[in-house]
Amino acid sequence: MSTEIILTNARIVTSDAEFDGTVVIRDGRITDVAVGRSHAPGAIDLDSDYLVPGLVELHTDNMEKHFSPRPGVKWPSLPAVMAHDTQIAAAGITTVFDSLALGDVRGDTDRVLNRERMIEAVRTVSDRRMSRAEHRLHLRCEIVADDAVEAIDRWIDLPLVGLISINDHTPGQRQFLDPEKLRHYHTKKYGMTNAEFEIFSVRAIELHHKNAARNRGEVVARAQARALPIASHDDATRAHVQEAVENGMTIAEFPTTREAATASREAGLAVLVGAPNLVMGGSHSGNIAAIDLVSEGQADILSSDYVPASLMESIFKLPATGTGISLPQAVRLASLNPARAVGLCDRGEIAPDRRADLVRVHVLDGAPLVRTVWREGHRVV
């Protein structure tokens, strides 16, 4: 039986415009987008709230905190994944790539010990259509890990896998070219003493020399054989970007310098930056500010990373920054652009024949508040 939903009196944000209008949904798809108000019986009046496309998130490790709310605590899997899913959907994200670390430079941390539980929980709620958002898997391959290739072989063929990224968090590499920045980061975040950091650093560098080059080649080959998109991570130099290009990567996650971001754009990679960085006005690690890259036209995709709500906050923050970025341009950074970067051409914009993934947003004192979310025409929030 065909179902029709009419959303009217909305401030609609398409990929290139915003206007007061009406969206018609039939059987989970957008069938019409029109200027003006509908007087059809049963039309839902949105009271001039914004209507934006459902957001598409390519990199979030938000799920980890629900599985281990404190160090060493293992929360039950299904309640954990559903709590994560609720938070994601309430942030206006209708498609999420849960980024799961298949290794950690610090060894068998909670994120590594929980990886199988997280994957199985996502599979369960997806198979049973229990989730509000659509969940896919982003496998983050820490290439210094001894079991990096074994882990990728175990999970890469799961139907939910849609993105692979190559990570190397060794001291002196990528995000932390300056080992002193890494020392400060680890002693502050993980409570390491200087002596413990020295032991960790020596071990991590040994693992890098032992595994990184070989594992990178193995993981990249497997991703390419399956035509999966591949992302680099924390590139800092032109040499890093050149390596990414040689490996067939198409997304540059969180470049840490202007040099790397510029080189990535020149090479045709889609540059992904952090929305928390943008909301807070800078990087907590001392790297390039996301607002600088966005305002210079060096960024293509926003990611909420570790704060789901930051994605919508950053979208509505950008037009007020004086950078000349319009609301439709800002919305594309978190919807159409990420969708296209991973080959999802059926969503990410308010247009006929696209999935009816939609978010009603009310702005109160400059803050965007998500009021209602539809996924394929079904209300989920």
Give tens-digit pLDDT for 151-161: 999 999 999 99
pLDDT over threshold 70, residue 180: no
Q: How much is the pLDDT for 111?
A: 87
Q: How much is the pLDDT for 175?
A: 60
Q: Does residue 188 lie within any of the structural domains?
A: yes
Of all residues in the chain, the percent with pLDDT exceeding 70 is 92
Q: Does residue 37 lie within any of the structural domains?
A: no
Q: Which of 125, 124, 103, 99 is nearest to 113 (CA)?
A: 103
Average pLDDT (276-297) is 87
This prediction has a pTM of 0.92
Domain that holds residue 126: 54-346
Q: How much is the pLDDT for 177?
A: 61
Mean pLDDT across the chain, nearest whole number? 92
pLDDT over threshold 80, residue 130: yes
Q: Does residue 366 lie within any of the structural domains?
A: no
Q: How much is the pLDDT for 346?
A: 98
pLDDT digits (tens, 9 = 90+) for 30-53: 999 999 999 999 999 999 999 999
If one compares 184 and 232, the residue with the highest pLDDT of the two is: 232
Average pLDDT (298-313) is 97
- Contact between 256 and 231 under an 8 Å Cβ cutoff? The reply is no
Radius of gyration of the chain (CA): 21
What's the pLDDT band for 188 if we cut at 50, 70, 90? low
The amino acid occupying position 79 is P
Average pLDDT (317-345) is 96
- Contact between 163 and 233 under an 8 Å Cβ cutoff? The reply is no
CA distance 250 to 270: 6
Q: Does residue 333 lie within any of the structural domains?
A: yes
pLDDT over threshold 90, residue 181: no
Determine how β-strand 358-364 pairs with β-strand 50-53. antiparallel
pLDDT over threshold 80, residue 104: no
Look at 195-204, 207-216, 346-355, 356-365 and tell me which has the smallest mean pLDDT. 195-204
Q: Does residue 155 lie within any of the structural domains?
A: yes
Q: Does residue 259 lie within any of the structural domains?
A: yes
pLDDT digits (tens, 9 = 90+) for 229-267: 999 999 999 999 999 999 999 999 999 999 999 999 999
CA 212 distance to own-chain centroid: 25
Q: How much is the pLDDT for 172?
A: 62
pLDDT over threshold 90, residue 61: yes
Give the 3-state secondary structure of 265-304.
HHCCCEEEEEHHHHHHCCCCCCCCCHHHHHHCCCCCEEEC
Q: Which residues contact 334 (CB under 8 A, 6 or more apart)?
A: 55, 56, 57, 275, 301, 302, 311, 312, 314, 315
- Angle at the Cα of 343 (from 247 to 18), degrees rounded to 5? 125
CATH of the domain at 190: 3.20.20.140
Is 225 strand, coil or helix? helix
Q: How much is the pLDDT for 341?
A: 98
The amino acid occupying position 310 is S
Average pLDDT (198-207) is 75
Q: Does residue 337 lie within any of the structural domains?
A: yes
Q: Does residue 365 lie within any of the structural domains?
A: no
- Contact between 311 and 304 under an 8 Å Cβ cutoff? The reply is yes
Q: Count structural domains, the chain.
A: 1
Q: Which of 139, 133, 165 is nearest to 153 (CA)?
A: 139
Q: How much is the pLDDT for 317?
A: 95
pLDDT over threshold 90, residue 196: no
pLDDT over threshold 70, residue 174: no
Q: How much is the pLDDT for 184?
A: 63
Average pLDDT (339-367) is 97
If one compares 73 and 185, the residue with the highest pLDDT of the two is: 73
Average pLDDT (66-83) is 95
Q: How much is the pLDDT for 182?
A: 66
